[in-house]
Structure 1
Amino acid sequence: MTGKARRTVAAALALAATAPMLSACLEEPSAHEAVRDFLVGWQTGDYAAAARRTDGDEKAVSKALEDAKIQLDAASFRFQVKGIRRTGDQSEADFAAEVDLGENNPLWEYTGKLPLQLVDGHWKVHWSPSVLHPELREGQRFAVDVIPEGRKPILDRNGDPLQQEATLYVANVVPATLKDDVAVCEQLSKITGFPQDRLLSRIRSARPNVQVPLVTFGRAKYAQLRDQLTAIQGITISPQKQPVAPDSPAQIVGTVTAVTPESEQQLGGPQRAGDTVGRSGLQKAYQEHLTGSTETRVITVDLKTKEQVAELRKWRPSRPTSPVRTTIDGPTQKAADSALFAGTPGMLVAVQASTGEVRAVGSTKEYNQEKDALAGRFPAGTTFSIMSVEALLKAQVSTKQKLACPVDRSVGGARFHQANPPGGTAPTLQGDFANGCVTALAALARRIDGAELAASAAKFGIDSRWTLPLKSFSGSLKLPKTDAATARAIAGQNVSVSPLSMALVAGAISSGTWRPPVLVTDPQSPDPSAEAGPPKAPDPIKIDERTVATLRTLMRAGVTTGSARSAATPGDPVHGITAVATQGRKSLAWFVGWQGDIAVAVLTESTDSTAGANIAGRFFQSLHAGM
Structure 2
Amino acid sequence: MHESEHPAPARRRHWRLLRAAAVAAAAATIAGVGAYAAEWRPFGPARPAVHPDAVAQAEAFLADWAGGRAEGAGARTTSPDRAQTTLRNFTAGLDITAPSLTAGAASVAKDGTVIIAFSAQMPVTGLGTWSYDSQIPVRRQQDGAWKVAWDLSLVHPNLSSTEKFRLQRQSTEATPVTDRSGKPLSATAGPSLKPMLTQIAHRAGAGPRGAIERINRVSEEVTGVEARFGKEEGAAAGQSIRSTLDSTWQAAADQALAATAGGRDAALVALRIDNGEILAVANSPVAGFNRALSGTYAPGSTWKIVTTSALLLGGAVKPGDIVDCPKYLTVGKQFHNVETSEFPGATFTKNFTESCNTGFISLRDKIGDSELGDVAAKYFGIGQKWNVGLPTFDGSVPVPGGQTEKAASMIGQGRVLGNPLTMASVAATAASGSFHQPTITPDAQDKTTTTALPAKVVTQLRALMRVTVTDGTARGLADLPGNVGAKTGTAEVGESAPNNGWVVATRGNVAVAVVVEGGITGGSSAVPVVRHLLQAVPHDPS
| TM interval, short-chain normalised | 0.5 to 0.7
Q: How far apart are residue 504 of structure 1 and its match?
A: 0.5
Choose which of 411, 415, 419 in structure 2 pairs with 1:491: 411
2:106 maps to none
Partner of 2:243: 326
- 1:285-319: CA deviation from partner (whole Å, max 9, x where unpaired): 679535xxxxxxxxxxxxxxxxxxxxxxxxxxxx6
Counterpart mapping for 1:220-299 below 5 A: 248-254=192-198, 266=211, 288-290=233-235
1: CA distance between counterparts of 2:535 and 2:282? 16
Q: Is the 8 A contact 1:333 1:360 kept in 2?
A: yes
Tell whether 2:536 aligns with 1:622: yes
- Give the equivalent residue in structure 2 for 1:20: none
AA aligned to 2:267 is M
Is 2:472 the counterpart of 1:449? Answer: no
- 2:25 aligned partner: none
Q: CA deviation at 1:444?
A: 1.3
Deviation at 1:473, TM superposition (A): 0.9
- Matches for 1:73-88 after TM superposition, within 5 Å: none
Supply the AA of the counterpart residue of 1:501.
Answer: T
- What is aligned with 1:163? 186
Partner of 1:599, secondary structure, is strand
**How far is 1:482 from its partner?**
4.0
Give the alignment of 1:394-543 within 5 angstroms. Answer: 394-411=314-331, 413-422=332-341, 425-458=344-377, 459-480=379-400, 482-493=402-413, 494-521=415-442, 524=443, 537-539=447-449, 541-543=451-453
- Aligned counterpart, 2:129: none
* Greater relative CO, 1 or 2 (CA 8 Å, sep 6+): 2
**Aligned equivalent of 2:280:** 360
Select which of 498, 506, 515 maps to 1:594.
506
In structure 1, how many angstroms separate the alpha carbons of the residues matched to 2:187 and 2:317?
A: 55
> How far does residue 327 in structure 1 lie from its aligned partner after superposition?
0.4
Residue in structure 2 matched with residue 612 of structure 1 by the alignment: 526
Matched, 1:550 2:460: yes
* 1:551-570 equivalent positions in 2, closer than 5 A: 551-570=461-480
**How far 1:539 sits from its partner (Å)?**
4.1
Residues 190, 254 of structure 2: 8 Å contact kept: no
SS of 2:310 mapped into structure 1: helix
After superposition, the Cα gap between the structure-2 partners of 1:557 and 1:246, relative to the gap in structure 1 and judged at 3 Å, is closer
Structure 2 CA distance, aligned partners of 1:392 and 1:474? 23
CA contact (8 A) 1:604 1:612 kept: yes
Cα displacement string for residues 570-607 of structure 1 (whole angstroms, at most 9, x for unaligned residues): 33111011010022424101101211100011101211
Q: CA deviation at 1:567?
A: 2.3
Distance 1:366 1:491, change over 3 A: farther
Q: Residue 370 of structure 2: SS of its match in structure 1?
A: helix
- State the distance in 2 between where 1:149 and 1:498 align: 33
CA-to-aligned-CA distance 1:340-373 (integer Å, 9 cap, x gap): 11423211100101000110011221775x6311
- With over 3 angstroms needed to count, the CA separation of the structure-2 counterparts of 1:431 and 1:286, relative to structure 1, is farther
CA 1:395–1:267 in 2, change beyond 3 Å: closer, same or farther? closer
Aligned equivalents of 1:597 and 1:625: distance in 2? 9
Structure 2 Cα separation of the partners of residues 513 and 155 of structure 1: 28
Distance 1:249 1:540 in 2: 31
Deviations 1:17-36 (A, max 9, x none): xxxxxxxxxxxxxxxxxxxx
Q: What's the counterpart of residue 272 of structure 1?
A: none
Is 1:152 aligned to residue 175 of structure 2? yes
Q: Contact conserved, 2:295 with 2:418, CA < 8 A, in 1? A: yes
Letter in 2 for 1:476: S
Contact in 2 for aligned 1:286/1:324 (Cα 8 Å): no
Report what 1:53 is aligned to. none
Alignment of 1:582 onto 2:492: yes
CA distance in 1, matches of 2:297, 2:398: 15
Instruction: Give yes or no for contact 1:435–1:577 (8 Å, CA) kept in 2.
Output: no
Shift of 1:485: 2.8
SS class of match (1:592): strand
Q: Return the offset for 1:478.
A: 0.9
Please give the TM-score of this superposition, normalised by the length of structure 2.
0.57
Deviation at 1:406, TM superposition (A): 2.5
Q: Which runs of 5+ in 1 are unaligned?
A: 1-147, 166-244, 258-262, 269-283, 291-318, 525-533
Change (3 A) 1:407 1:288: farther
- Alpha-carbon separation, structure 2, partners of 1:350 and 1:265: 32
C-alpha separation in 2, matches of 1:507 and 1:326: 20
Please tell me whether the aligned partners of residues 256 and 529 of structure 2 are also in contact (alpha carbons under 8 angstroms).
yes
1:432 Cα deviation (Å)? 1.3
Q: Assess if the C-alpha contact under 8 Å between 1:450 and 1:479 holds in 2.
A: yes
Give me the whole-angstrom Cα distance separating, in 2, the residues matched to 1:473 and 1:427.
Answer: 36
Contact preservation (8 Å) 2:326, 2:358? yes
- Deviation, 1:407, is 2.5
**CA contact 1:162–1:248 (8 Å) conserved in 2:** no
Inter-CA distance 440–354: structure 2 relative to 1 (3 Å threshold): same
Residue 70 of structure 2 is matched in structure 1 by: none
Q: Which TM-score applies when normalising by structure 1?
A: 0.50
Identity of aligned residues (%): 29
Q: State whether residues 510 and 597 of structure 1, in contact with CA within 8 Å, keep that contact through their aligned partners in structure 2.
A: no
Amino acid at match of 2:451: I
- Superposed CA deviations along residues 68-97 of structure 1, whole A, max 9, x for unmatched, are xxxxxxxxxxxxxxxxxxxxxxxxxxxxxx
Instruction: State whether residues 515 and 541 of structure 1, in contact with CA within 8 Å, keep that contact through their aligned partners in structure 2.
Output: no
Residue 415 to residue 351, structure 1, CA distance change in 2 (3 Å): same
SS in 2 for 1:416: strand
Question: For 1:595 and 1:149, how far apart are their aligned partners in 2?
Answer: 41
User: How does 1:104-253 map onto structure 2 within 5 Å?
Assistant: 151-163=174-186, 248-253=192-197
CA contact (8 A) 1:154 1:253 kept: yes
In structure 2, relative to structure 1, the CA distance for the partners of 1:482 and 1:567 (3 Å cut) is same
- Secondary structure in 1 matching 2:239: coil
Q: Judging by fraction of residues, say which structure has more strand.
A: 1
| Partners of 1:424 and 1:454 in 2: CA distance | 28
Query: What residue identity is the alignment partner of 2:368?
Result: D
Aligned partner (choices 373, 379, 384) of residue 292 of structure 2? 373
SS in 2 for 1:399: coil
Instruction: Say if 1:420 and 1:164 are closer, same or farther in 2 by CA, change over 3 A.
Output: closer
Post-superposition CA distance 1:512-567 (Å, at most 9, x none): 1011111112xx4xxxxxxxxx7653145312222211111111111011101112
Provide Cα deviations, 1:478-506, integer angstroms capped at 9, x if missing partner. 12364333211111112011110110011
The 5-angstrom pairing of residues 48-63 of structure 1 reads: none
Q: From the two aligned structures, give the one with the greater helix fraction.
A: 1
SS of residue in 1 equivalent to 2:485: strand
Flag the 1:381–1:287 CA change in 2: closer, same or farther, 3 A.
farther
Moved more, 508-517 or 583-592: 583-592
Does structure 1 conserve the Cα–Cα contact (< 8 Å) formed by 2:509 and 2:540? Answer: no
Q: Are residues 1:348 and 2:292 paired?
A: no
CA RMSD of aligned residues (A): 3.1
Mean Cα deviation higher: 557-566 or 426-435:
426-435
CA drift at 1:149: 9.8
